[in-house]
Amino acid sequence: MKLWDKGFNTDKKIDMFTVGNDRELDLILAKYDVLGSIAHAKMLHKIDILTTKEIISVEAALNNILQDISKGNFTIEDTFEDVHSKVEFLLTEMLGDTGKKIHTARSRNDQVLVDVHLYLKDEISEIKAQIKALFDVLIAKADEHKNVLLPGYTHLQVAMPSSFGLWFSSYAESLIDDIYMLNAAYKIADQNPLGSAAGYGSSFNIDRNLTTELLGFETLKYNVVAAQMSRGKTEKALAYGLSAVAGTLSKFAMDICLYMSQNFNFVSFPDELTTGSSIMPHKKNPDVFELIRAKCNAIQALPYELTLITNNLPSGYQRDLQLLKASVLPAIQTLKSCLELLLFSIQNVEVNTEILNDSKYDYLFTVEEVNKLVQEDVAFRDAYKIVGAKVEKGEFKPNKEVRHTHLGSIGNLCLKEIKAKMKKAL
């Protein structure tokens, strides 16, 4: 069944090429398509397109479909082009001519817009909840290990003292920036496009404020052409949010892979969280973190992928936009799985408390010595040369006591302030 059926059949090859995997992807959006249809039907009743008897039967039928979706009993057979045609078919099958009225004053264009906007709102909320759970674990780990020093590196060279408190809480605070990006995407998605129809509105006196309220949107996209132009723009805003989160997770995963190696030996995980080698019995590989790194790196390409699909399209609907779902929907699920696995793993991380006993980390404390001389009224550049000469001659003896007290330093992690910032961001 095609909603645009005019009594002739297109070539099967054309059908296969134009529909693609839309049926599979539309199963994810089916719930939202029905919710949009319920709101649209209520609006049609208000403007006297549907009678009171008809709206009661339409609502009941749509709620039955919604229950089938929630139970996993809803399918889109290859005789249907998409979720919209399947839902309308079911309504017509159940209600006869009443079911045929549901498409009045709308198009598949604003239907899919509503579906995607509602779906993205829910998914962004879920991702934010997952980020908050990971944030809480990172803050707890930072507090637990705040006094355990950790080598800081620049250019992959031993640099200055850090701490596990700084390391864990740095990623916690970085996640707040990612929340800001997701909030922006949510704000863009939280605008009702229903009523824009094929992109140019309708001659029916529809009530767009009513559907905005019924669907829980903060506002509506007033201009009907602008509503259609949000297709692609909304997904791209979300892609930047996903990319931001993915960037944080990828960097964290890379740190873990590095820190787990025998050359570093900063952190370890229980055996059941690592994998082995087919020929080397000693291996405990960080496969989970390597895959998180790779998957998140792929997600970081998503904004550019969507840009290349949409950047030279004119206003109005183009079929190119169909391809967005195939990129965005799997990326959302991939990021959620990465968040889930990282949360599970970090809860079980074990830190090495004896790292700095290794003499190769003695030079971490050269800056501490320079600063000590400065506090004794030696000019900084002279103090730098004095300590540098000791290093060259092999005479440098570190004092491994670190007293950093300014905001955000080893001795003042500001965990309370970071938690307050996250609360405000959420």
52-101 tens-digit pLDDT:
999 999 999 999 999 999 999 999 998 898 999 999 999 999 999 999 99
Q: What angle do CA 3, 216, 187 make, to 5 degrees?
A: 100
Query: What phi-psi label fits residue 394: left (phi over 0), alpha (psi between -120 and 50 degrees) or beta?
Result: left
| DSSP state letter for 159 | E
Instruction: Return all residues near 113 (Cβ < 8 A) that are at least 6 apart.
Output: 193, 194, 196, 227, 228, 230, 231
Residues 335 and 321 in one domain: yes
Structure tokens at 147: 């006094």
Position 362, amino acid: D
From 356, 377, 403, the end of a domain falls on 356
Nearest of 114, 140, 129 to residue 192 by alpha carbon: 114
From 356, 382, 410, the end of a domain falls on 356
pLDDT at 390: 96
Residues 234 and 304 in one domain: yes
Residues 249 and 174 in one domain: yes
Question: Is residue 157 domain-resident?
Answer: no
Residues 86 and 115 in one domain: no
How distant, in Å, are the alpha carbons of 35, 105, 296, 358, 400 from that of 203? 24, 8, 46, 78, 77
Question: Is residue 400 domain-resident?
Answer: yes
Of the CA atoms within 13 Å of residue 301, those in its CB half-sphere come to 7
Partners of 409 in beta bridges: 412
Residues 55 and 112 in one domain: no
pLDDT at 284: 77
Give the CATH number for residue 16: 1.10.275.10
Residues 241 and 120 in one domain: yes
Could you tell me what percentage of the chain is helix, strand and coil, using 3-state DSSP and rounding each to the nearest 5? 65, 5, 30
Give a three-class secondary structure readout of 207-275.
CHHHHHHHCCCCEECCCHHHHHHHHHHHHHHHHHHHHHHHHHHHHHHHHHHHHHCCCCCCEECCHHHCE
Question: Is residue 216 domain-resident?
Answer: no
Question: Is residue 155 domain-resident?
Answer: no
> Do the bridges between strand 219-220 and strand 191-192 make them parallel or antiparallel, or are there none, so unpaired?
parallel
Residues 251 and 320 in one domain: yes
Whether the Cβ atoms of residue 109 and residue 196 lie closer than 8 Å to each other: yes
Residue 391 is part of which domain span? 359-425
Residues 363 and 293 in one domain: no
pLDDT at 4: 41
Give the CATH number for residue 241: 1.20.200.10
Q: Which run of H or E residues covers position 76?
A: none
Question: Is residue 274 domain-resident?
Answer: yes
List the chain residues with pLDDT less than 50: 4, 6, 8
* pLDDT above 70: percentage of residues in the chain: 93
pLDDT at 270: 82
Residues 421 and 321 in one domain: no
pLDDT at 20: 58
Question: Is residue 391 domain-resident?
Answer: yes
C-alpha to C-alpha distance for 255 and 200, rounded to whole angstroms: 51
pLDDT at 5: 53
Average pLDDT for the chain: 93
Residues 262 and 179 in one domain: yes
Number of domains making up the chain: 3
Is 78 buried (19+), middle (13-18) or exposed (0-12) by CB count in 10 A?
A: exposed
Residues 133 and 282 in one domain: yes
Question: Is residue 203 domain-resident?
Answer: no
Partners of 74 in beta bridges: none
Q: What is the pLDDT of residues 146-200, one digit of tens each?
A: 999 999 999 999 999 999 999 999 999 999 999 999 999 999 999 999 999 999 9
Question: Is residue 205 domain-resident?
Answer: no
Position 30, amino acid: A
From 296, 331, 356, the end of a domain falls on 356
Residues 185 and 320 in one domain: yes
